[in-house]
Amino acid sequence: MRTKISELAKRLRNREISAVELTKAYIGAIEKLNPTLNAYVHLTFDTALNAAEQADQRLKEGDAPLLCGIPMALKDNICTDGLNTTCCSKILKGFKPYYDATVWEKLKAHGAVLLGKTNMDEFAMGSTSETSCYGAPLNPRNTNYVTGGSSGGSAAAVCANLAVYSLGSDTGGSIRQPASFCGVVGLKPTYGAVSRYGLIAYGSSLDQIGPMTNSVKDAAIVFDAIKGGDRRDQTSVDYDYGSSLAECLDRDVKGMRIGVAEEFFDGINPEIKSKIEEAIKLFERNGAVIENIRLPALKLALPVYYIIACAEASSNLGRYDGIRYGYRTSSYTSIEDMIVKTRSEGFGDEVKRRIMLGTYVLSSGYYDAYYKKACLIREEINREFDAVF
């Protein structure tokens, strides 16, 4: 049975279950199901049990935050001090960061219990999680299906109740799409809402960390715990939301204006379309004002994303040189040879493809036609959004 955060928090406070017992139940479930589902690629049970003991102490003292003692998971591209963080890539196999990502620092302060790191497409490049060097996770709803990606392991872990909630990262759909495939809730927060310090970079002008949960309310609770400006991520901001997102959910929708863009329905599955239309009607019945809007530049969003993300990735992944991160080729004749061999052996095909495209669109002669053009169209998409708001 999948349980909501607020429900578990209540049981922990009523002493119906201890954090250690709860953690042990999740460890048991992971031991039973993970060999098949492959949702987790690194397990951190010892750390989890220690954290659960401390959580029980805090719960006893009575000052514990809502997330205290709740077992959860992190995508394998979010840095955890001293614990494996490998982006599911051979080039980072065995890599243990020496600092915590801000999101993990924040959740730890809330008393979160980390069960392990979840499977993903290598360097978050993919939409099925099949490019993972550990093999793909399976969709718990039907193991013949993929989980989606790149945060496929995070989605599968929540779906199969191998974690109460997880964090994923989203550059071009990597939280929202696997959440949809596995039937869980995924939120890509607005760019700048959550610090990416300690998130291994893919496309820095697009990357965001966000929650994957069993309910919208849970997503809001986790978002509230991880949001906020951070001096270590220059793009993050301290925005005044007026109240917590969890509280916002209890507000009335009466008079709220909701724009429905025609472009969102291009080529959509009819079953999904009818579900969305039902939801629109539900909002309308409750007093929301529905306005049909147009965002014509959106039809170019996918190639624009692909060009910009690959360009940034080709630069971000330049750091894997065989010197600083562990994996290094076994024999080489020069520094250049060592770097080239390490990268060619360490990166998978999809990563190489994107680095190559990124290099292409940034190279002289093609820069204006691809990278610059994509940036200009992104501005146009921005302008269209600004115009409707």
Partner 1 sequence: MSISKTEIEKLAKLAKLSFSDEELERFTAEFDEIIAFADTINQSIEGGTEEIRNVGARMVSFDDLRADEVMPSLPNEKILSNVEGYNGFFSVERSKK
Tell me which residues are annotated as active site.
Answer: 75, 150, 174
Q: Name which position in 340, 348, 386, 389 contacts partner 1 (CB under 8 A).
A: 340
Q: Does 191 bind partner 1 (CB under 8 A)?
A: no
Stretch that binds partner 1, among 23-31, 200-208, 240-248, 297-305 (CB under 8 A): 297-305
Helix H, strand E, coil C: the string for 353-383 is HHHHHHHHHHCCCCCHHHHHHHHHHHHHHHH
Stretch that binds partner 1, among 14-22, 171-179, 180-188, 332-340 (CB under 8 A): 332-340
Q: Name which position in 256, 268, 376, 388 contacts partner 1 (CB under 8 A).
A: 376
Q: Name which position in 228, 283, 359, 367 contacts partner 1 (CB under 8 A).
A: 359
- Residue 322 falls in which region: left (phi positive, over 0), alpha (psi -120 to 50) or beta: left
317, 355 contact by CB (below 8 A): yes
Stretch that binds partner 1, among 32-40, 48-56, 135-143, 318-326 (CB under 8 A): 318-326
Q: Does 88 bind partner 1 (CB under 8 A)?
A: no
| Beta carbon nearer to partner 1, 287 or 296 | 296
| Beta carbon nearer to partner 1, 145 or 265 | 265
Stretch that binds partner 1, among 4-12, 144-152, 266-274, 337-345 (CB under 8 A): 337-345
| Beta carbon nearer to partner 1, 106 or 343 | 343
Q: Does 123 bind partner 1 (CB under 8 A)?
A: no
CA distance 51 to 58: 10
Number of residues engaging partner 1 in binding (CB under 8 A)? 56
Q: Does 95 bind partner 1 (CB under 8 A)?
A: yes
Q: Name which position in 15, 60, 319, 383 contacts partner 1 (CB under 8 A).
A: 383
DSSP annotation string for 231-265: TTBTT------SS-HHHHTTS--TT-EEEEEGGGG
Q: Does 90 bind partner 1 (CB under 8 A)?
A: no
CA distance 56 to 113: 11
CA distance 308 to 379: 12
CA distance 90 to 344: 11
Q: Name which position in 45, 283, 360, 385 contacts partner 1 (CB under 8 A).
A: 360
DSSP annotation string for 279-337: HHHHHHHTTPEEEEE--GGGGGHHHHHHHHHHHHHHHHGGG-SSSSSS---S--SSHHH
Q: In this structure, what token pair is assigned to residue 35? A: 């060999």
CA distance 308 to 82: 32
Q: Does 293 bind partner 1 (CB under 8 A)?
A: no
Q: Name which position in 143, 318, 319, 388 contacts partner 1 (CB under 8 A).
A: 318
Radius of gyration of the chain (CA): 21
121: DSSP letter: S
| Least spacing, CB of residue 74 vs partner 1, in Å | 19
Residues contacting residue 340 through CB under 8 Å, at least 6 positions apart: none
The 58-87 contact track toward partner 1, x by CB under 8 A, reads ------------------------------
The 140-179 contact track toward partner 1, x by CB under 8 A, reads ----------------------------------------
77, 166 contact by CB (below 8 A): no
| Least spacing, CB of residue 49 vs partner 1, in Å | 24
Q: Does 303 bind partner 1 (CB under 8 A)?
A: yes
Neighbours of 1 (CB within 10 A): 3
Residues 230-269 contacting partner 1, CB under 8 A: 231, 234
How many residues does this entry show for the chain?
Answer: 389
Q: Which secondary structure element, helix H or strand E, spans residue 75, and what is its range?
A: strand 71-75
Stretch that binds partner 1, among 52-60, 143-151, 268-276, 353-361 (CB under 8 A): 353-361
CA distance 143 to 133: 19
Which stretches of the chain bind partner 1, using CB under 8 A?
94-96, 98-99, 231, 234, 294, 296-297, 299-300, 303-304, 306-307, 314, 318, 321, 323-326, 332-341, 343-344, 347, 352-353, 355-361, 363, 370, 372-377, 379-380, 383
